[in-house]
Chain A
Amino acid sequence: MEIKLPTILAVVLAVFFLFSCKKDSSLDNDYTRPVVEGYLVPGKSVLVKVYYQKYLDDTISLGFPVTDLKLKISDGAKTVELTEGADGNYAYGDTTFVAENKTYSLSFSYNNKIISSQTTVPNKPAGFVTSDSLQKVPVMDFGTTPATFVPITLSWNNTNGGHYMMILKNTENSRTSINPRNNGSYRDSEVILGQVSSFQTQQMTFNYLGNYRVLLFHINKEYSDALNNNGGSSLNLTNPYTNIVNGLGIFTSMQTDSLNLRVYQ
C-alpha cells in the first residue's frame, strides 16, 4: 500500500476542519443586581439602603441609590413595608420591631426579579467585662524613655462559637490625639474579632485620649463573611460573599453590649 504525502496532508486538513471549534461564551453581563446594605439591631429603627453597582472607572464612593422600591420585612408573623426617606434609604420607624432571636426576611421586586434575604438576630453578648477601666498609653516622644505598655483584657462569654465585632468610640467632645502628628479626621474603629471570647489591647489600639465607649457586637457569620472578604487576589478573583438572593451586599442583624474605658498618658 502506497500512501502519498499529499493524501496525508489532505486528511490532516480535513480532520482539522472537523475539529474547528466554537467561539467562547460571552461574559455574564449581570450589571443589574442591586446592592443592599441593612443592619438590624434590637432597639433601633430599621434602615435598609439600596444602591446600583458601579462601573469600574466610576470615581463615586457609593453607587447611585435605587429609588421607588417597595421593600418589605417580615418577622414571620408581621410584615411591614419600609418607606423611602432620602433617595435609596428605606426605613421603618418602630424601634420595637427588631427583637432577639427572631428571623427577619427582606424582600422586594426589582427589574422583574425578587430580591430577598434573611437574618436571625443573635443573643445579646453576655458577661462582657474589662480587666481594668483605665488604660495607660506610654508617651513615645523625643527625650523620654517609653514605659512598657500594659494591656488590658476585655472578655465575654462565648461557648457556642459566636462571632464578635468590636467598635471603639471616643466620646470626648474635643478629642486629643495620642500621636501629635495624627491630623486625620476621627472615625470609630471597628474590628471583626471572629469566634473569640476576649480581646487584648495594644499600644496601637487607641489613637485618642479620654473616654471611650467599647461596643461589643454579637454578629452573624454573614457579617464577617461579607465585609471581611478580600475578594481574592488579582490572579484569581472570587465573587465576594453575599447573603442577598439576586443581589449583592449584606442584610444582617446584631446585638450589642458596651462598657467604658478611659485612656490616659
Chain B
Amino acid sequence: MKRILLLLGFTGVMSINAWAQRPLKTQATIDGFYSLPMARMLDTLSSKCKIRIIYEPEMLKDYMVTDRYLNESVKDVLGKICSENKLYYWLDPDQNIYIIRKPEDVGRLKKIAGDKPVFKEVQLSSTALLTEEKVESNKMEPFKIRGRVVDNASGESLPAAIVKVRNTNINTATNADGYFTLLNVPSDTCVLDINYIGYRPDVLALNKVNIKEEITIELFPAVKSLNEVVITDKRRDNAMSTDKRRVSVLQISPSKLEELPNIGEKDILRSFQLMPGISASNESSSGAYVRGGTPDQNLVLFDGFTVYQVDHLYGFFSAFNSNAVKDVTLYKGGFSAKYGGRLSSVTDIVGKEGNNKETNIAGDLSLLSANVFLEKPINSKSTLLLAYRHSYQGPLYNKIFNKFNSSTTVASGPGGGRMGGGPPGGGGGGFGGSAATVTVPSSSFYDLNAKYTYAPDDKNRFSWSIYQGNDNLDNSRDVTLPSFLSGGGSISSTDKTTYGNLGSSFKWSSRWTSRLYSNTLLSYSTYHSDRDNSNKITIQDSEGVDQEISTGTFEKNNLKDFSLKSDWEWQAAGKVKVLFGGFASRQNVSYENSLNDTSTLINQNTRALTSGGYAELEISPVSSLQLNPSLRSTYYDLTGKVYLEPRFSATYTLTDRFTLKGSTGKFYQFTNRVIKEDILAGSRDFWVLSNGSTIPVSSALHYIAGFSYETDQFLVDVEGYYKTLDNLSEYSQRQTGRRMGVSGTLEEHFYNGTGYTKGIEFLLQKTHGKYTGWISYTLSKAVNNFEVYGGEFPANQDTGHEFKLVNVYHNGKWTFSATWIYATGKPYTAPLTSYTVNDYSGRSHTFLTISEKNGARMPDYHRLDASVTYDLIKIDSRKTGSIGFSLFNIYNRSNIWYKQYSIVNNQVLTSNVNYLGFTPNITLSLKWK
C-alpha cells in the first residue's frame, strides 16, 4: 500500500449543523498527513469513513491534496479540500457526496452513479445481510406496511403523495397528515416509489426491519439545478399536475408557483386558471370559473373550514398567502361525497404546519405587498407557523385601485348618472365627480395565517388554524368648497368598502389503528362585507355653525358559519377502502341595506342548519380498475327536506400508460352568492341562504368522461363534461321613487332559471426535462335559461374557446417562463338604439333598447406574460431565495372588462373599461434558512 500514515479515529464529537438543511451525518474524523492525488484522497475518505463519494476522475486529475489533519471531521476535511481547489460537494438524500464544480455537474454525476442504483437502507448495511434476507423473504406471506411521508427539511407532512410498490399495482395516496398504509405487500424485498408534486421522487427498499415499524419517508423539494438527473417514470417537474388516477383533479405545488409569471403575487387560485377547464379571462376575479360554473359554485376550504371571500383588491389577487400553503387540490367536477354544498368544484387548501426541526423565517417583497413568514418548533411535539401579508400602496396597488377609482367617476358623472347606474346615493358624481381636490385615503388589504400543531404521540395530532383576510377599500373624497360658493364648507363623500373573512378551525386527527384514521374538525368562519357610500355636505354659515346634509346608502352583509365535521377512513381490505363521516353546520346570514342611516330598505336575517353524513367506497376489484361509489345525504332545515347526492367515479388502467376515467353525480347548493349587477353601485356581492321559495336550493348533475396517456416525457389528458344546473337564482335591486329627498322603496327581484354547461378539455403536458410546460385547450359552452330573459342565453361566464400555452425553461439557476392565453370574448348585453319620451310635465327621459340577453360578444381576450426567476441557491442545493422579474400583458393588449354607457347631449357614449395593460413586477423572496 502506497498510502502514507493513515490514522483513523472515531470520536463522539458530532458536528451537528442544526441550520443546514441536509447535514452530512457521518461522525468520522480523520487524522494524519496526506500527500496524494485528490481522487485517491477521496477514495481514502470513502473507504475509511464509510461514505460514498462520487466524482469524475477526469475533473480531478490535476488536483493534489497535501495537508495534515488533526482529528478533523470528514465534513471539514472535505470542505477544505474542495475550497482549495474551487470545487464544491453536494449531498443527496442518501448521504452520497458528489464532488462538483458547478451545480449542473450533479446531474451528470448522478447519471454515472445511477448505473449502480443505491438504496437508502442498502448503502450503510452490509450487502451480505441483504442477500440473506432476500433468500428468506421469498417465502413470506403478503403483509402490510404503514408509514408517513414528510418534507425532509421541515418535517411537514405531505398529503396526497403517491406511494407505490414497484412493478405491482399496489399503491396508495397519503392522507391529510401524510400517513399511508399499504396492504398485501408481497415481499419485503419490494421497492417503494414515492412521488409528490414539487418534490424529488424517492425510492425506498423494504427490508426485514423497516416493514415492522412505521416508515418515515423524507422527500426533498425538487431543485431546478438538478433537472437533468435521470428521469424516473413518475417524475413531475411542473408546478401543476393532473392526477391520472383521479377524475378531474388538479394539484398545485405552491413552492413552484414563482416560476410562473404573476401580476404581483404568487397566486394559487390564479395559477389554476392556466389549466384547462378553468377560465382565464377573468382578471377581475381570482375566483375559479370552473367548467362554466361561477366562483360561488366553487367550495373553497382552508384547513377544513369554508372560506367565503377568496380574493383581495376587487378580485385581482387571491386571499391566500402561498407561503402558508402546503398543498392545493382542485376538483373540477364529479368530486366525491366527502365534499358537498357546491355545484361545480372544490378547492381544498391545506395550510403548512410549520417546520418541526428548526426555526425559519422567510420574506417576500413585491411591488404590491410585503410578506413575512415564520415557522418554529415550540418543542419536540408542537410547531407554530405564522404568515402575514400586507399590501402597500405601491405603484401596482394604485394602478389597480385607480382602475376602479376612475371608472367610478365616469359612471356617476353628470348625465351618466342614470344610465351608468351611478351609486344610489348620488355618489361623488353629483358634485361633478370633481377629482381636483381629492384626498386619497389609504386602502389596503392584509391576511394572516397562524397554525399551531401539537402531536402528543404518533397516533394523535391536534392543530389549531386561524386565517384572517381583510380588505379596506376607501375611495372617499373630501372636497373643500371655494368660498365664493358659500361661506366656506366642505363636501365629504365617503365610499368605503370593507370585506373579509375570519376563520378558525380546531382539528383532531387520530390514527386508531393502522387501518382506521379519523379527522374531526370544529370550525368557525365569518364573512363580512360593508359598504358605506354616502355624502356629507357641511356648509358653514357666518356664525360658524355647521349645517350638515347627508345622503347615502349603507350595506352590510354578514355570514357566520359554525361547523362540526368528522371524516373517517377505514382500510377494510387491500382492495376496499371505506370513507365515511358526518357534518353539521349552522349558518347565519344577514343583509341590510339602508338609506341615510335612518330608513332601512332591506333587512334580512336568515339562519339555517345543514346536517348530514356521507359514505364512500374505494374499491379495486381488479388491479387495473378503481371504482368509487359514494352517497351524501343532507338535511336542510329551511326547506325541511333531505337531499340525497349519489356520486360515482371510476378509472380503468388499460395499459401502463393509458387510463380511462369517468364520473357522475348529483350536487346541491344551499348558500348562494349574489352578484350585484353594477359593481360600482354598491357592494359587489353578498351571500344569501336558499329559502326554498324565492331562492330555491340549486342542484347540478355532472357527467364526465376522459382518458389520459402518459409517456416518459409527455402527458395527454382529455376530459369531456356535461353539467345540468337547476334552480339557479339571479338577483336584482330596483330603486323606485327616489327624487326630491323622498326615500322611496327598494324592490328586490329574484329570477330563477336553469342552465347547462358542456365542454371538452385537452391537455398536452411536457412533464420532464429542462423545458416543461403545457398546451391546454378548452371548448365549452355555458347556457342559462331564465324565463324572465326570454329563454336560453349564453351565461355571463361563457367562453367558447380557451387556449393556454405555458412554457417553462430551466437552465441552472435561471428559470424563464412565458404564458399566452387566448379566450373568446365574454358575452354582454349591448344597447341597440335609444329613444326619448317626455313625461307628463314635459321632462324628457331617454332609454336604451337592448339586444337579447348576452347577445353580443366582447372582442377576444388574449395576453402574453413572461417572467425570469433567478434562484439564490447555496452550493449544497439549499434554496435561500429568488429574484423574479415578471411582465404582465407584454404587448399591452387592451382587453375589455366591460362597456359603459352614458348619455351626454342626447348622445349615447360607449366607453370601454379595460383590464390591466402592460404591468411589470419584481419579486424578491428570501429565506433565512
Contact = CB atoms under 8 A, between A and B. Distances in A.
A204 B426 CA distance: 16
Given A63-B836, A190-B839, A237-B850, 11 more contacts: A5-B716, A35-B837, A63-B835, A146-B541, A189-B841, A190-B843, A192-B736, A230-B419, A236-B829, A239-B849, A254-B840
A27 B852 contact: yes
Given A1-B655, A21-B800, A234-B678, A227 B541 contact: no
A59 B905 contact: yes
A143 interface: yes
Interface in B833-857: 833-845, 847-852, 855-857
B782 to A, nearest CB: 12
24 contacts: A3-B655, A9-B716, A16-B762, A20-B779, A21-B800, A24-B857, A30-B849, A33-B849, A53-B835, A53-B849, A56-B834, A57-B907, A142-B487, A167-B841, A189-B841, A192-B739, A205-B741, A234-B420, A235-B898, A236-B732, A237-B831, A238-B850, A240-B849, A248-B835
A47 to B, nearest CB: 11
Interface stretch (B170-178, B511-519, B542-550, B581-589): B542-550
B522 interface: no
A190 B841 contact: yes
Interface in A197-228: 199, 202, 204-205, 217, 223-224, 226-228
Interface in A4-51: 5, 8-9, 12, 15-16, 19-21, 24-25, 27-31, 33, 35, 37, 39, 51
Contacts of A112: none
Interface string B740-767: 1110110000000000000010101000
Interface of B: 411, 418-421, 487, 539, 541-543, 545, 547, 654-655, 657-658, 677-681, 709, 711, 714, 716, 718, 720, 732, 734-737, 739-742, 744-745, 760, 762, 764, 777, 779, 781, 794, 800, 829-845, 847-852, 855-857, 898-901, 905-908, 910
What is the interface of chain A mostly: helix, strand, loop, or mixed? loop
Contacts of B677: 232-233, 235-236
B836 A61 contact: yes
A190 B714 CA distance: 71
B719 to A, nearest CB: 11
Contact of B681 (A1, A191, A204, A233): A233
A57 B421 contact: no
Q: Which of the listed residues A54, A55, A59 has the most CB atoms from chain B within 10 Å of its own CB?
A: A54
B835 A249 contact: yes
A200 B302 CA distance: 53
A54 B739 contact: no
Contact of A53 (B487, B833, B844): B833
A204 B741 contact: yes
A142 B711 CA distance: 86
B851 A28 contact: yes
Please indicate which of the listed interface residues B732, B762, B832 has the most CB atoms of chain A within 10 Å of its own CB.
B832
A124 B742 CA distance: 23
A2 interface: yes
A85 to B, nearest CB: 16
A191 B840 CA distance: 11
A15 B718 contact: yes
B858 to A, nearest CB: 12
A86 interface: no
A230 B857 CA distance: 23
Contact of A236 (B411, B657, B678): B678
Contact of A21 (B716, B744, B781, B843): B781
B852 A234 contact: no
A187 interface: yes
B421 A233 contact: yes
A182 B196 CA distance: 75
Contacts of B843: 187, 190
B840 A194 contact: no
Contacts of B714: 5
A30 B711 CA distance: 56
A252 B522 CA distance: 61
Given A24-B857, A231-B847, A233-B678, A58 B655 contact: no
